């Protein structure tokens, strides 16, 4: 099954496959990892390359109210698109049970994603449940959420009250026409800015703002975004347009390398490189310089996430859980591990924890490193999970 998508000027079109990444062929049953010597949770779990598991990203829905071309193009995700039925989704209690096993293995940070996570009804209940969990040394978890901001203004206070600590908001430009064109549902940029302001007012910070940069589409918004958020107390991060899944029609010539983004901003607002703030951090940090040429904390910083041009696989500490209980070990994964089969198959907590441990111990994923070592191409024939399904 295929779809044809025209470019912005209608001058050409490309054919992209409509692949349902939820098909059984993409999944392996985690029950296969239950037998043998159990893997007991000690908080020190490492994969085959010595990478710890400290970050869990949980997708709570495969639905979104935007139709961004780089994630959920309207030509595919239309009114007839078959989303996952509610019975297939993990319940909040199931998510919390699984999260507890990940925390026992060393996870300290949980990020809720989607789709658009604020579309999941009563999400505050899940946040309350996750906020009650404690790390292996008795500390509260770092609980965050990534959102497009459309519903944030009305939900910010309830999210904060439930125990959410921080939010990351996607915003691909300040020009209203550009932004409406990119979200493809005619949503105004003012609505997202209102959500950001509401989140800041209730203390959901420090707020990060993510801009996916697509050459020829919104790259002219880089400087306006940098000017707007400089000195705001928020961290603006520029993300290279990624080759995730098959539905976004990714092309290498639409990628604007992060090095060019930094060079552009530096030409107007001098930058100095900063050290990573945490192990496994995906963003390269650059601080705005003051008159003395040193970083001025009052002016803030930006981040660049170079997932195409610079691999950061060697420090990757993130596991990803889909809304229906598939465990993915890489954003560019070609298959998942079915934890839902264990949960609903009456597996004990010990068996579930052991399965998670075995899966992570066998992890050797390093897609970006392998890609960067090969000759440049305009795409990949590998069948990978969709970003709209697993979250960013």
Candidates 331, 327, 335, 328; CA nearest to 352 is: 327
Average pLDDT over residues 213-227: 95
Would you state the pLDDT for residue 310?
78
DSSP state of 334: S
DSSP state of 24: G
| In the chain, domain spans | 27-390
Q: What angle do CA 221, 224, 226 make, to 5 degrees?
A: 105
Cα dihedral 39, 41, 45, 48, rounded to 10, equals: 10
pLDDT band at 30 (very low <50, low <70, confident <90, very high): low
**Measured on CA atoms in the order 170, 172, 173, 178, is the torsion positive or negative?**
negative
pLDDT band at 382 (very low <50, low <70, confident <90, very high): low
CATH code of 27-390, in short, is 3.20.20.70
By the 8 A CB rule, do 330 and 48 touch? no
- Whether the full predicted model's pTM is greater than 0.95, yes or no, is no
The string of pLDDT tens digits covering residues 88-133 is 999 999 999 999 999 999 999 999 999 999 999 999 999 999 999 9
Average pLDDT over residues 187-194: 98
First to last CA, the chain: 25
Does the structure show a pLDDT above 70 at 23?
no
The string of pLDDT tens digits covering residues 285-320 is 999 999 999 999 999 999 999 877 776 788 899 999
Say how far residue 45 (Cα) sits from the centre of its chain: 22
Does the structure show a pLDDT above 70 at 376?
no
**Residue 205: how many other CB atoms lie within 10 Å:** 16
**Scanning the structure block, which residue is given the tokens 């390269």?**
284
pLDDT band at 358 (very low <50, low <70, confident <90, very high): very high
What does pLDDT average to over the chain? 87
The string of pLDDT tens digits covering residues 226-282 is 999 999 999 999 999 876 555 555 678 788 999 999 999 999 999 999 998 877 678
| Cα–Cα distance, 77 to 61 (Å, whole number) | 14
Does the structure show a pLDDT above 70 at 21?
no
| Least confident span in 40-49, 61-70, 201-210, 375-384 | 375-384
Candidates 8, 74, 4, 6; CA nearest to 217 is: 8
């Amino acid at each position: 099954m295929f779809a044809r998508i025209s470019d912005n000027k209608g001058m050409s079109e490309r054919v992209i496959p409509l692949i349902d990444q939820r098909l059984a062929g993409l999944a392996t049953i985690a029950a296969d990892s239950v037998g043998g010597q159990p893997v007991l949770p000690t908080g020190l779990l490492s994969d085959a390359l010595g990478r710890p598991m400290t970050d869990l990203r949980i997708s709570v829905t495969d639905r979104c109210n935007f139709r961004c071309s780089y994630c959920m193009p309207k030509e595919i995700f239309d009114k007839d698109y078959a989303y996952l039925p509610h019975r297939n989704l993990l319940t909040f209690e199931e998510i919390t049970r699984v999260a507890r096993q990940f925390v026992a293995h060393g996870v300290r940070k949980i990020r809720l994603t989607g789709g658009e996570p604020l579309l999941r009804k009563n999400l505050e209940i899940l946040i309350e449940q996750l906020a009650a969990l404690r790390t292996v040394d008795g500390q509260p978890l770092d609980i965050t959420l990534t959102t497009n901001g459309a519903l944030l203004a009305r939900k910010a206070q309830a999210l904060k009250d439930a125990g959410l600590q921080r939010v990351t908001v996607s915003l691909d430009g300040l020009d209203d026409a550009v932004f409406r064109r990119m979200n493809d549902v005619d949503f105004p940029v003012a609505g997202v800015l209102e959500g950001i302001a509401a989140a800041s007012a209730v203390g959901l910070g420090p707020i990060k703002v993510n801009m996916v940069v697509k050459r020829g589409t919104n790259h002219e918004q880089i400087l306006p975004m940098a000017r707007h958020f400089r000195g705001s107390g928020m961290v603006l991060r520029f993300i290279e347009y990624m080759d995730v899944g098959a539905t976004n029609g990714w092309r290498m010539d639409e990628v604007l390398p992060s090095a060019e983004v930094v060079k552009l901003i530096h030409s107007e607002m001098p930058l100095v490189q900063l050290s990573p703030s945490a192990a496994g951090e995906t963003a390269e940090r650059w601080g705005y310089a003051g008159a003395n040429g040193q970083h001025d904390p009052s002016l803030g910083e930006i981040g660049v996430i170079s997932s195409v041009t610079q691999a950061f696989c060697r420090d990757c500490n993130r596991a990803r859980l889909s809304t229906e209980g598939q465990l993915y070990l890489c954003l560019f994964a070609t298959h998942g591990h079915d934890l839902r089969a264990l949960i609903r198959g009456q597996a004990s907590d010990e068996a579930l924890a052991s399965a998670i441990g075995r899966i992570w111990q066998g992890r050797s994923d390093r897609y970006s490193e392998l890609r960067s070592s090969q000759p440049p191409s305009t795409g990949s024939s590998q069948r990978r999970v969709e970003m709209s399904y697993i979250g960013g």
